Structure 1
Amino acid sequence: MRRELRGLFLGVRPHGRGRLPGRGRWPGRDRPHRRRHHGLATLRAKLTVMNVVILALGIVVATAVTITSMRHYLLDRIDSELVSSRTALENTGFTRAQIDALSAIGSLRDDLLLADAAGTLPRPETVFVAVDGEGRPVTFAGIPPTARQRELAAEVDDPRALAATDAITDVHFGGDTFRAVGARLGDGTVVVMATSVEAVRDGMAKSLKVDLGVGAGLLVLLGVLTLMGARHRLRPLEDMVETASAIAEGDLTQRVPARKDPVLEIEQLRLALNSMLHQVESAFETRERSAAQLRRFVADASHELRTPLAAIRGYLQLYDKGMLREQADRDRAGQRVRAETDRMARLVDELLTLARLDQQAELVFQEVDLSRLAREAAEDLRVQEPDRPVRVSADGPLLVRADESGLRQVAGNLLANVRIHTPGSAAVHISVTRTGDRVLLTVTDEGPGLPAEDAARIFDRFFRAGGGAGSGLGMAIVQGVVAAHGGEVTVDTAPGEGLSVRVELPAARRSAQAPEQPPRRAVF
């Protein structure tokens, strides 16, 4: 059986000699993720070998149990027939002389030959011999002792002791093993009867060959079916390998496809892997977008700072070379230098504000009346532009939990955007309302409005619609401050229909009986 199992296992070869399974060759150069790994067995080969080994062990155990049971059954049958023959012979009470004188000796001989009445099994060889008091074989039933009978008599050391006990003993002669019993006749003669167990051995050998043949066939069939089943069931893992290889080469849009009749564990792995790949793709896109914004921000900041620096450097060079001889020229140059310095200072302050917002700066949160801030910002605008129509509407005091200086900057930037980009005669409407647990600050002007492509970029840093004045950072600061407060800012505009900016902030949750709380510092 060892040879058959060894031949079977040698016939099971892992697919591709350990190479990662795939549906075909990759185009172009050999990918590093798909190269062969010599000496590594595939999962389906391991599963196949494991199943074959388990089945082989089962076959070995089953065959051993079957052969052992068959041996015990056949030996018990032989022993039962020997005991039955001995009992029948002893119960007659005949002497050897009476047996010789019987006319029906032929029938008695048939009984002594232990013929199989059923005829379903091959009749084993049976030898009987009569021995005298000294153990020598004698004539019995008119038949002189043969050579086989003499060998049997010679192998039995004490025939009388054998006949005196019910035990069955094994004797060996003529190259065979026999089961032997002794029977005592009426005159004291002992008849030794022995049946060969060679037929039992032949039957066991034939049964073993049949079991090994059937077992070998089952092992081969199981190996083939396991390989086919494992190839089908593990195909999703091959898809994962191909998808991971494609993503490693830069194609982040690849996903592991679904298959019919999925296995629960593999389907869970597929869904988890696709979710992870989606997160990876989103993170990569976010990183690329942030890097692009950073490059654009650095370029725009450099450009915006270069302009006032160039102007200041130019006036200083004129002054150093003595080209500003008149006092009026020197005063005008000084005013321009101060103006450009103020412009650069404002630009630096706005950049620092955006940097703090990007770094989630610590804000001082307290209850702030947004209606009061709106009215104060409107008064500032009236002072700067007395001829501009400004209207403020508010639903009484509306409290929000916010950083007051940040909200003042939001309101100031919204009105500064109106002042810079609309004519002085364009009316402005500032409204503060409450909807549910949100407080809305809306600034609407009757200016020229913006086209859709400019409105989509209004919160981009350094973006100035139509190349207008200003640094292009005001609306970006508004969006950053509002986002730090957990709010949202939106715009509604169209060419010729003005611009409406809507700031939505969480309302303060304050009980009417609750005492005034001190300002709380929080990081957003």
Structure 2
Amino acid sequence: MTALFSPPNFAAAPTAAASILECGAQPSDAAQGARLEALGMLAAGMAHDCNTLLGSILCYTDMADDLMPPAGHAYLQQVRLACRQASQLLGRVLDFAAQHDGAMQVLPVAAAVQQALQLVRPMLGPRISLSFDNRLPQAGVLAQDGMLQQIVLNLSINAAQAMAAGGQLQVTLQASAARAGQLELVVADNGCGMSPQVQARIFEAFFSTRGAQGSGLGLAVVHDLVQRLRGEIVVHSRSTGSDCGTRFCIYLPIAAEPLVEE
């Protein structure tokens, strides 16, 4: 597939200092720990209430399906898919707060990426184009259902927020050229980019550059999920010059076991 845009030339900008953040270094500040503990206590009640609301939405969706003309069934199916995905996201928030790991199975990566992008596409608006270059259609990784989707969903939403004036969001799945036995999942945008100071803190829980509009949990959850998948996340970003943008590269071990089709 032909790239829609040329990725920013991070190597050519030493003064921009493209920061590489790996999963090994996670903040351990006591105040942040206390806030995470408070989040864990709130999350259980919120998850219960939200799941109740999702159940109501699904119930009314089923009733509407009986009255909807055939052309509308596909839209209602998307509502069901979004509700199931939302329920899984609530579970991931609980896991993140409680540091709890559930059962893992080998899941197809490409299918998970496509599911996430299907949910993302309507949120992008007409000024942001989206492409998925799938060079590794059969690869699987050991994961819980919903983990991969949440990683792609959070990174894609983060990218869209960096492209208020429009741009291109590119997702690439390929075998890692430098890391044998691993795949590389890349989420890239040509948005405003991040300064080195922001890059140094992006995986901190509750850190946000969007003020009251941002929860500061999206990238922290991604960081946590990549760790649980025994992977590594690297970010390259440039916020000055003519080729601004950000590229998140996630490296995950490819599973040798049979895939569980989603």
Which residue in the other structure is 2:192 paired with?
448
1:409 aligns with 2:147: no
Structure 1 residues 409 and 491: alpha-carbon distance in aligned structure 2, compared to 1, 3 A threshold: same
Which residue in the other structure is 1:499 paired with?
246
Q: Secondary structure at the match of 1:449?
A: coil
Structure 1 residues 403 and 453: alpha-carbon distance in aligned structure 2, compared to 1, 3 A threshold: same
C-alpha separation in 2, matches of 1:385 and 1:488: 27
Question: Which of 135, 157, 174 is residue 395 of structure 1 equivalent to?
Answer: 135
Segment of structure 1 superposing worse, 447-456 or 373-382: 373-382
What does 1:210-225 correspond to in 2, within 5 Å?
Answer: none
TM-score between both structures, scaled by the size of structure 2: 0.60
1:376 aligns with 2:118: no
Q: Secondary structure at the match of 1:465?
A: coil
Segment of structure 1 superposing worse, 290-299 or 388-397: 290-299
Structure 1 residues 473 and 430: alpha-carbon distance in aligned structure 2, compared to 1, 3 A threshold: same
C-alpha separation in 2, matches of 1:454 and 1:503: 19
C-alpha separation in 1, matches of 2:230 and 2:171: 21
Which residue in the other structure is 1:361 paired with?
100
Structure 1 residues 474 and 294: alpha-carbon distance in aligned structure 2, compared to 1, 3 A threshold: same
Structure 1 residues 463 and 485: alpha-carbon distance in aligned structure 2, compared to 1, 3 A threshold: same
Question: Which of 414, 425, 432 is residue 166 of structure 2 equivalent to?
Answer: 425
Q: Which has the higher contact order (CA 8 A, sep 6+)?
A: 2
1:289 deviates by 3.6
1:466 deviates by 5.0
Identity %: 24
1:410 deviates by 1.1
Q: Secondary structure at the match of 1:431?
A: strand
Structure 1 residues 384 and 289: alpha-carbon distance in aligned structure 2, compared to 1, 3 A threshold: closer
C-alpha separation in 1, matches of 2:189 and 2:259: 37
Question: Which of 281, 291, 295 is residue 30 of structure 2 equivalent to?
Answer: 291
1:295 deviates by 3.8
Structure 1 residues 468 and 494: alpha-carbon distance in aligned structure 2, compared to 1, 3 A threshold: farther
Q: CA RMSD in A?
A: 3.1
Contact between 1:366 and 1:401, CA under 8 Å: does it hold in 2?
yes
Contact between 2:113 and 2:148, CA under 8 Å: does it hold in 1?
no
Contact between 1:360 and 1:484, CA under 8 Å: does it hold in 2?
no
1:298 deviates by 6.4
What does 1:25-40 correspond to in 2, within 5 Å?
Answer: none
Which residue in the other structure is 2:182 paired with?
438
Segment of structure 1 superposing worse, 381-390 or 427-436: 381-390
Contact between 1:354 and 1:480, CA under 8 Å: does it hold in 2?
no
C-alpha separation in 2, matches of 1:451 and 1:517: 40
For structure 1, the 5+ residue unaligned runs are 1-285, 306-345, 511-515, 520-524
What does 1:329-368 correspond to in 2, within 5 Å?
Answer: 353-354=92-93, 356-357=95-96, 359-368=98-107
Which residue in the other structure is 1:251 paired with?
none
Structure 1 runs of 4+ aligned residues shifted over 6 Å read none
What does 1:137-286 correspond to in 2, within 5 Å?
Answer: none
Q: Secondary structure at the match of 1:409?
A: helix
Contact between 1:410 and 1:478, CA under 8 Å: does it hold in 2?
yes
Question: Which of 225, 229, 235 is residue 485 of structure 1 equivalent to?
Answer: 229
Larger Rg: 1
Higher helix share: 1
What does 1:92-171 correspond to in 2, within 5 Å?
Answer: none
C-alpha separation in 1, matches of 2:144 and 2:162: 27
After superposition, the C-alpha distances for 1:262-286 in whole angstroms (9 at most, x for unaligned) are xxxxxxxxxxxxxxxxxxxxxxxx9
Q: Secondary structure at the match of 1:410?
A: helix
Letter of the 2:253 counterpart: P
Contact between 1:420 and 1:469, CA under 8 Å: does it hold in 2?
no
1:391 deviates by 1.2
Question: Which of 159, 184, 202 is residue 458 of structure 1 equivalent to?
Answer: 202
TM-score between both structures, scaled by the size of structure 1: 0.32
1:467 deviates by 2.7
Structure 1 residues 466 and 405: alpha-carbon distance in aligned structure 2, compared to 1, 3 A threshold: closer
Contact between 1:431 and 1:442, CA under 8 Å: does it hold in 2?
yes
Letter of the 2:166 counterpart: S
After superposition, the C-alpha distances for 1:194-221 in whole angstroms (9 at most, x for unaligned) are xxxxxxxxxxxxxxxxxxxxxxxxxxxx
Structure 1 residues 508 and 422: alpha-carbon distance in aligned structure 2, compared to 1, 3 A threshold: same
Count residues with an aligned counterpart: 182
